[in-house]
Amino acid sequence: MQLVLSALFTLASFAQQQDAEKVLDAAYQQAIVDHKNVFVELRSDY
């Protein structure tokens, strides 16, 4: 059971990382067009 949960958490983490990369890529592309910077704030509200 612990192995299955570990695998699920790993997959969920990977999926979130992919989503974050897509969001950051879009932000960077828009910043280039607008000649601006991207500010990233890491929060832990869990």
Domain boundaries, the chain: 1-46
pTM for the complete prediction?
A: 0.58
CA 8 distance to own-chain centroid: 17
pLDDT at 4: 61
Mean local confidence (pLDDT), 17-25:
83
Residue 8 structure tokens: 């699920």
d(CA 44, CA 24): 18
d(CA 13, CA 26): 20
Residues 27 and 38 sit within 8 Å (Cβ to Cβ): yes
Residues 22 and 16 sit within 8 Å (Cβ to Cβ): no
Is the pLDDT at 6 greater than 80, yes or no? no
